[in-house]
A and B are shown apart, each in its own frame.
Chain A
Amino acid sequence: MDLIGRGSLLLAFGLAVYATAAGWMAGRRRDRRLLESGRRALLAAFAAVVVASAVFMWAIQTHDYRFLVVWRSSSDTVPQPYLTSSFWTTQQGSLLLWLLVLTGLSALVTWQNRRRNHDLMPWVVAILGAACAFFAFTICFIASPFESVGAVVPTAGRGMVASLQNPYNMIHPPMLYLGYVGFTVPFAFAMSALLAGRADERWIQLTRRWTLVPWLALGLGMLLGAKWAYEEIGWGGFWGWDPVENAALIPWLTGTAFLHSVIVQEKKGMLRVWNVSLVALTYVLCITGTFFTRSGFTSSIHTFARSSIGWWFVAWIGIAAAFAIVVISRNAHRLKSPHRIESPVSREATFLFNNLLFVALAFAVLWGILFPPLSEAVGGHKIQTSTPYYNFFAVAIGLPLLMLMGIGPVIAWRRASTRGVIQAFRWPFLSAAAGIGVLLLAGFGSSVPGAIALSLCLFVTVSILLEIARGAAARRRLAPGTSWPAATTQLVARNRRRYGGYVVHLAIVIGIVAIVGTSAYATVRQPVLEPGQSFKIGGYTLTFVRLTTERGPNWNSTNALIEVRRGGKLIDTVRPGKRSYTDAPESSQEVSIRPTWTGEDLYIAFNGAVRGTGVNLKVLVNPLVNLLWLAGLVLIAGFGIAIWPDARVAARVARRTDELARTAAP
């Protein structure tokens, strides 16, 4: 078995190296046969990794403890589907999943483009092949999932980390990997376009979906991780500015900047250097994030064990960054835009400011990760950045970004007149001003940034809704008698990308409302109660009845039986507790979360038993928190609208792409 697994991985490594060489030579010699050969090598590499993954999964499912990784991360009593998810809970398994996704995407890209884009594809094959070769190398020679446990095979596994036995852990890591890995494709196309002597926007048109998918996956991956932390860790929050959380956030921020700036290039032919630099930066930051997670460079609740693999990642980051810098600088003359931004009060200038703020926030977060190890290396003492550091920049940069989110979609291209600005923004501005007044009167002034953020959310929402209403009104004028819902539907259907983007903006607004609600207006108490004792929090009265015990397939738990009353009426009985596992050394929190239709959660965590009969609880009333999960659904809806195929638009883009392809440099 292990021979098949190891052999498949070695084969994948060899094929990826070959694809790199064949693609590169095909690009230089303009040799179609070599391109075809490299393309097939990538397809075969994917097939080989599928075989290796199947062998590894088989070993997990059959509890084959001859494999060290299987022995370390599972046991006979780990229930399904968590046993399946142990595939990616180790360094080795998660790298294999990464390679599986990377080779899969590479195979899909090369298959999709088998009959087109022959000027770009050799370089795309070479770059994707090199990325696959690097990851295959790390798995074959540094962190193999098929490492043997030794001569004596254990009869039982070590079990799975308790906190990972959670439904969200089933999907959170694969989603993040899809995001991290997915940015390889736009990076490969951007560099390929330059290597092929192209500086136009064709690579952007070809990779629009290939950029949106990893962006969404990374965003949803973070959201699912937040949900996991909220339900599993028991501290009542969902984002702790942990280095590994930040490692995913940083490329998502630069990726978001990129999604906006490409619009300026597509519409106006500007920001060409910026866009190729931004997509290269995003790719490098994806690998850097992986380095943070896997090297032991940072201390985090999510990192894997300290290992020598980090140096290989540093090398790859250096190679990718140097490659991008050389390619971009050698093509700088081609990337010069014939147009300039005419006015700071224009849509393109707004997009530029938005980009600067996204990159500034990404840099501030990155510095927060780099500062502790650098301070230790330079000064001998580790200095950690803490939550206030991140919160400061989240507020200082996040609030202007939020404002630009309301301005960007509405302000005119080229140069906005004063009259136009007043007309476009008077209602959003008045709504925000009225909103902040109402918030202050309603007692939300306890957090000034919170109140400002909520009023800006109102500004953005009104701005977007008015823009949609204006469009729908225009459609009704063109087709009298059309109802408002029908006009709105037609409007969205005719420009899915634009209005899908607006829905995504609304999702971000909903998410920000949730973040503000929980971070600025939550109520927390940590009482110690004896049986029969009650306490009040946020309109609820909680009565501790007694301690109880429960038993599951591989766990025992101690729970606190608590009656929840509101207005004197019993509305629920909850049992927060702590589980100890028979096959894992850790315990896990089993928090009780009681959501309400207003988006508020009553959150109860079990801190510990007191003197055998009492209990120490952590209780929070988290206002608006459920809007965060709703934001995820709205985000998916917006993404769906933006990415949904439109034959009319596809034909227009294909025409434009063909035109650009015909003008390819000889």
Chain B
Amino acid sequence: MRGSSLRLIVALGIASTLAAVLLYSTVLGGAVQVTRVSELARKGDASTQVVRLAAAVITDGDDSITATGERRFVIADTRDHSLRYTVIYRGSIPDNFAVGRDVIVDGRLEGGVFHAKTDSLSTKCPSKYASSPPEGL
């Protein structure tokens, strides 16, 4: 194989990978936009798209699980806790899920309630919650 042919194969391989990665991540739905509660609130029910919502947990809904396995908990904007939505969720609950924690959950807003996709709830790492030094120091 001549050197130029080999270089052509390598170049084509690299170029097609770059193109596929960029296309898939930006156009073909391989990615989802992260939305804050305040942004969702601005759009209101006009937003029919599935979004990935980043929020803070206000109530964990531990005692709200229904006979169909649905849990209702309340989330708020991470910067403005007065902006809140009730979330209806079904599925795994991460170990770090608790009041005050930041979570990410996929779903859509319907009638002022956020209907989450099954098993889409995730929390941030526990070690992100490293404690501050003891009070009074």
Task: Given the known inter-chain contacts A150-B133, A383-B34, A386-B30, please indicate yes or no for A301 contacting B123, CB distance below 8 A.
Answer: yes
The distance from the CB of B7 to the nearest CB of chain A, in whole angstroms, is: 11
The distance from the CB of A130 to the nearest CB of chain B, in whole angstroms, is: 29
Cα separation A588 to B95 with both chains bound (whole Å): 5
B62 — which chain A residues lie within 8 A by C-beta? 608
The distance from the CB of B86 to the nearest CB of chain A, in whole angstroms, is: 17
Cα separation A304 to B21 with both chains bound (whole Å): 28
Contact of B124 among A154, A301, A343, A609 (CB under 8 A): A301
Q: Assess whether A384 is in contact with B91, with CB atoms less than 8 Å apart.
A: no
Q: Assess whether B127 is in contact with A234, with CB atoms less than 8 Å apart.
A: no
Q: Assess whether B94 is in contact with A233, with CB atoms less than 8 Å apart.
A: yes
Cα separation A305 to B102 with both chains bound (whole Å): 13
Contact of B91 among A375, A397, A526, A611 (CB under 8 A): A526
Within 8 A of A (CB), among B8-30: 9-10, 13-14, 17-18, 20-22, 24-25, 29-30
B82 at the interface (CB under 8 A from A): no
A585 — which chain B residues lie within 8 A by C-beta? 98, 129
A58 at the interface (CB under 8 A from B): no
Q: Assess whether B24 is in contact with A392, with CB atoms less than 8 Å apart.
A: yes
Contact code string B45-79 (vs A, CB < 8 Å = 1, else 0): 00000001000000000100111110100000000
Within 8 A of A (CB), among B100-121: 104, 118-119
B92 — which chain A residues lie within 8 A by C-beta? 233-236, 605, 607, 618
Across the two chains, which residue of chain A brings its CB closest to B121? Answer: A235
A468 at the interface (CB under 8 A from B): no
Across the two chains, which residue of chain A brings its CB closest to B122? Answer: A301
Q: Assess whether A526 is in contact with B69, with CB atoms less than 8 Å apart.
A: yes
Contact of A303 among B34, B52, B127 (CB under 8 A): B127
Across the two chains, which residue of chain A brings its CB closest to B39? Answer: A381
Contact of B137 among A149, A301, A356, A389 (CB under 8 A): A149
- Most chain A CB within 10 A, of B10, B29, B125, B136, is at B125
Q: Assess whether B131 is in contact with A158, with CB atoms less than 8 Å apart.
A: yes
Cα separation A438 to B52 with both chains bound (whole Å): 41
Q: Please count how many residues in chain A sit with their CB below 8 Å of the partner chain's CB atoms.
A: 76
A29 at the interface (CB under 8 A from B): no
B52 — which chain A residues lie within 8 A by C-beta? 384, 386
A343 — which chain B residues lie within 8 A by C-beta? 1
Task: Given the known inter-chain contacts A371-B31, A607-B69, please indicate yes or no for A389 contacting B25, CB distance below 8 A.
Answer: yes
A607 — which chain B residues lie within 8 A by C-beta? 65, 69, 91-93
Across the two chains, which residue of chain A brings its CB closest to B6? Answer: A341
Cα separation A364 to B21 with both chains bound (whole Å): 6
Cα separation A343 to B122 with both chains bound (whole Å): 50
Q: Assess whether A527 is in contact with B30, with CB atoms less than 8 Å apart.
A: no
B2 at the interface (CB under 8 A from A): yes
Q: Assess whether A386 is in contact with B137, with CB atoms less than 8 Å apart.
A: no
Cα separation A279 to B69 with both chains bound (whole Å): 50
Within 8 A of B (CB), among A597-620: 605, 607-611, 614, 616, 618
Cα separation A586 to B124 with both chains bound (whole Å): 12
The distance from the CB of B1 to the nearest CB of chain A, in whole angstroms, is: 5
Task: Given the known inter-chain contacts A526-B69, A585-B98, A610-B67, please indicate yes or no for A385 contacting B25, CB distance below 8 A.
Answer: yes
Contact of A90 among B25, B104, B118, B130 (CB under 8 A): B130
Task: Given the known inter-chain contacts A235-B119, A382-B34, A605-B92, please indicate yes or no for A340 contacting B124, CB distance below 8 A.
Answer: no
Contact of A234 among B18, B21, B22, B95 (CB under 8 A): B95
Task: Given the known inter-chain contacts A364-B21, A586-B95, please indicate yes or no for A385 contacting B126, CB distance below 8 A.
Answer: no
Q: Assess whether A384 is in contact with B32, with CB atoms less than 8 Å apart.
A: yes
A360 — which chain B residues lie within 8 A by C-beta? 13-14, 17
Within 8 A of B (CB), among A328-362: 340-344, 349, 352-353, 356-357, 360
Cα separation A142 to B68 with both chains bound (whole Å): 50
Q: Assess whether B33 is in contact with A382, with CB atoms less than 8 Å apart.
A: yes
Shortest 9 CB-CB distances between A and B: which pairs? A389-B30, A150-B137, A360-B17, A161-B126, A382-B34, A235-B92, A356-B13, A610-B65, A528-B69
Chain B positions within 8 Å of A, measured between CB atoms, are: 1-3, 6, 9-10, 13-14, 17-18, 20-22, 24-25, 29-34, 52, 62, 65-69, 71, 90-96, 98, 104, 118-119, 122-131, 133-134, 136-137
Supply 20 further A-B pairs (C-beta < 8 A) apart from A349-B1, A526-B118, A585-B129: A152-B137, A158-B131, A161-B127, A233-B94, A301-B124, A341-B1, A352-B10, A353-B13, A356-B10, A363-B18, A364-B21, A367-B25, A381-B34, A386-B52, A393-B21, A526-B69, A607-B91, A608-B71, A610-B67, A616-B69
Instruction: Pull 25 A–B residue pairs with CB atoms less than 8 Å apart, ordered by A.
Output: A150-B134, A161-B127, A163-B95, A164-B126, A234-B94, A234-B95, A236-B92, A305-B128, A340-B1, A341-B6, A344-B9, A364-B17, A367-B22, A372-B34, A383-B34, A389-B30, A393-B24, A526-B90, A586-B96, A586-B98, A588-B95, A607-B93, A608-B62, A610-B65, A616-B71
Chain A positions within 8 Å of B, measured between CB atoms, are: 68, 71-72, 89-91, 149-152, 154, 158, 161-164, 232-236, 299-306, 340-344, 349, 352-353, 356-357, 360, 363-364, 367-368, 371-372, 375, 381-386, 388-389, 392-393, 396-397, 526-528, 585-589, 605, 607-611, 614, 616, 618
